[in-house]
Structure 1
């Protein structure tokens, strides 16, 4: 079992939380009755944690190499992607953990107990009118349970926190009459138990996530997570370019317009705003007067009440890719592909249309090259605003997307699958040969238009002065692959462009058989026009 939480454990906790929330989503959606029946608390918690996990997977290595740094990235991702009241509260829970452990490389038992107290404090501050018997009560109880443990053993602290949360959850019907009348516990509180039991799973180094709280509760469905039925709209947006004082004023203004008001920040200038109201324009205008609102989302509760799910399948992989050959290769691997012509500009709306038309509740996007990551991010943001769970795994080359796709397993839980794909993409080194289109200065010297440039992981490592011929391309390919294999590797993948000479794949295979006999080799006709050959090493 773990004796302390390091960055790897934090990533595992986020992934297990997503897995378990995914498994528990429908059950949690079906039991929220405070103060009116609700149908999306589980979905909101899952969407928030998926946004947090995606932010952590996308963060530079130096921002997620320590426990405190990883938690900071996780909290910022949760805040930016927070959905509903429960999502906002979870983002503040994570922010509290991050603040307390900011300078900690590895969090021990006492560190975690102290951090849970701060997490409960910030979560409570996120709600304008906190009530007993909600997820705040459960979170506070978990912190108290952890603080009562005098042991320095991490497992004992996490187990005590989870047990205290479960006990507090069981008591929520005694604190809210509406829960007692319906025979259910608080849905948000159940989500807190899921997160803490997931942490216990990680600390005990178990493979399968815990199913924390079984119930045969009735499942009243509606579309309002909390708040009075007097208000017909939910308004959420991110806010920046403001101050703490102005944010406090915004909260007071929104409380005059509706209920379920949250105005919470990440401590670094970004705020999430949430309110249930009738005057949507006034809620947004108040944000404009306070700072710069963006990613504005408005939902009308009446539109969702009783509506059947619009998702016909669970998960798909979508890939925007350049080149007919590369697109065909991805299709044979089971992905849905947005093929971008060699002279076409990528269009975010085309990608968004493909994502939404899949009919899948969860979509993983693997952009086929570095220039497509931006449109993938924007399309994903818009799809998430529309209710889909979309995660973009950054791939700077098609070979990285191929590596991610190779480990994709639709039978695996979504969170585990995303982590495996992201790790496979990140572990794949990339190289390429390109004919320079203009004169330039590189790290290893000047080049002229028509020269052959060899790249390894984005850096120029070889210049062959033109004109380019077949023998030069073969030599360049040998040099690039030798440089990449110097750090080790088991598989080399080559994507041959339209300008690749005949026989290049055979020459590469002979070279590898001689110099690196244990390395496997596979080549495909990629058909790309801007690169002579792309190389990947796994």
Structure 2
């Protein structure tokens, strides 16, 4: 096994171990706000990071760590999630030129992990995840370079736990309630997972049943001046004038003028990632919008989150207490744009379509809130993207009132078919059987323009070519959209095909839409519906049934 694959399995083991402990980490969450979500945030961050490397082949250790770090940054949630992403970014920086996974290279990685993490936080507080990575790095650098790698990692984990155990002595909020820092605990569990792979040669497996956290974990005084308000997070796709020109200090200085707290600001190539606690999130968003377009936004009321953690109240307690489960059945689907949301809700009759944006990345909370809103005994959830299925399943595990049935739809066309196949009067077993059968007859065909030269799914692709994608797999690359229609789409339209549902993207040209109509009218006796899909990336998404 090469070193790059070995590292990927180390990372997987760390991610899985963090997942197994995230409910317990939530229980430890005290600082800076006792909102009970540090474990959840770190788990979602780590999971998103691993998705970015899971099915990719990398040429070097540095390249793989860089991709993992980028995935973490894009999915980073909460204070600890953003800091965790910066710790890994530090590893990728320190080990950028690593040829092997030697003790010497790991020591470089730990050093930069500490440096980058501290740089990202405006006012570093000791007794937190920052302390744990710094003291772990300091301990690692005292280990001789010629130490056996297994002994090195055993010592690293020992140093990490030693630092974690000392966090209550550095931070009064922790000592007052007798807990260690939750973010630091999460980092330690990640490192312990990596260590287990080094020692045993097999990754930690995710547990099927995890500890439950129903709130009411801590007895603490919330008097004084607690750091509440709104947890505000945003990823901004930087406009060209700001790429490589915008400074982290510029953003921090303005947020400080807004009297914000817990500021973590990250600039990574063409994106700006901000996490802050604000009393007026609106002014924060208005300011950030000056630098480009929002990719993702999240604003949460920390007072409600704190009530859940400290007093045992549910974050959406008012909604949950009033739920009657009056409806026998409801449906929820994830879509890529406001236009698709409109189509799914108004034309297909889906109760709630969650707009996951171009990246299709709704959070567990998005699902939980939608489930509470539909308030039905049975709720069918259509993720419509393979990367969203895990989040939907996690929401199903957390939901305690409605019965959640996650239909593992991986594309928008599959979601259309599933929505139309659900019988409001049918049982779960009958609907599951009917939908499963219907999905077998769906071909999801999409067209997207290549942004660079590459080799994917065995297909050689040149920058600017039009890629034909069938069921999420690239099958061909042509010089024009017209060629994709005649050479690739035509293969999937036979005498058994009854209808095509065509979602046009925001980049679809009118001339190409007209060409598609002419192509279908001249060559096939098939019914088709053209929908303004408004999606990014894909100029056409076509469901063939």
TM-score bracket relative to the smaller structure:
0.5 to 0.7
Matched, 1:254 2:249: no
Describe the superposition over 1:458-504 as per-residue Cα deviations: whole angstroms up to 9, x where unpaired: 1399xxxxxxxxxxxxxx99xxxxxxxxxxxxxxxxxx8669xxxxx
Q: Using the alignment, how far apart are the partners of 1:293 and 1:236 within structure 2?
A: 11
The aligned residue for residue 201 of structure 2 is 205
Residues 27-46 of structure 1 correspond to what in structure 2 (within 5 A)? Answer: 27-46=24-43
Q: Is the 8 A contact 2:33 2:228 kept in 1?
A: no
> Take 2:353 and 2:301, find their aligned partners in 1: how far apart are those partners?
27
Secondary structure of the residue that 2:127 maps to in structure 1? coil
* Preserved contact between residue 198 and residue 209 of structure 1 (Cα < 8 Å): no
Q: Hey, what does 2:279 align to over in structure 1?
A: 278
In structure 2, the CA distance between the partners of 1:278 and 1:32, relative to structure 1 (3 Å rule), is same
Closer, same or farther: CA 280–350 of 1 in aligned 2, 3 Å: closer
Task: Tell me the secondary structure at the aligned position of residue 154 of structure 2.
Answer: helix
Structure 1 Cα separation of the partners of residues 226 and 29 of structure 2: 14
Q: What are structure 1's unaligned runs of at least 5 residues?
A: 313-317, 322-337, 399-430, 434-442, 444-453, 462-475, 478-495, 500-526
The aligned counterpart of 1:177 is 172
Alignment of 1:145-294 (within 5 A): 145-149=139-143, 150-203=145-198, 204-208=200-204, 219-220=217-218, 229-239=226-236, 240-241=238-239, 242=242, 243-256=244-257, 257-266=259-268, 268-294=269-295
Query: Which residue in 1 is equivalent to 2:296?
Result: 295
Aligned CA distance change for structure 1 residues 228 and 72 (closer, same or farther; 3 Å): farther
Q: 1:19 to 1:394 in 2, by over 3 A?
A: same
Deviation at 1:299, TM superposition (A): 1.3
Among candidates 137, 145, 156, match of residue 143 of structure 1: 137
Q: Is the 8 A contact 2:18 2:43 kept in 1?
A: yes
TM-score, normalised to structure 1's length?
A: 0.58
**Gap change, CA 1:366 and 1:110, over 3 Å in 2:** farther
Find the aligned partners of 1:394 and 1:66 in 2 and give their Cα distance.
Answer: 31
Q: CA deviation at 1:189?
A: 0.9
1:30 aligns to what SS in structure 2? Answer: helix
Q: Is this contact kept in 2: 1:228–1:259, CA < 8 A?
A: no
Q: CA RMSD in A?
A: 5.4
Aligned length: 387
**TM-score, normalised via structure 2 length:** 0.57
CA shift for structure 1 position 358: 6.1
Confirm or deny: 8 A CA contact 2:82 2:264 kept in the other structure.
Answer: yes
- In structure 1, the partner of 2:375 is none
1:350 partner SS: strand
**In 2, distance between residues paired with 1:397 and 1:66?**
37
Structure 2 residue 26 is matched with structure 1 residue 23: no
Shift of 1:273: 0.6
- Unaligned runs of at least 5 residues, structure 2: 321-331, 336-340, 357-365, 373-377, 400-405, 415-442, 446-458, 460-469, 479-490, 500-525, 530-543
Which residue pairs with 2:74 in the alignment?
Answer: 80
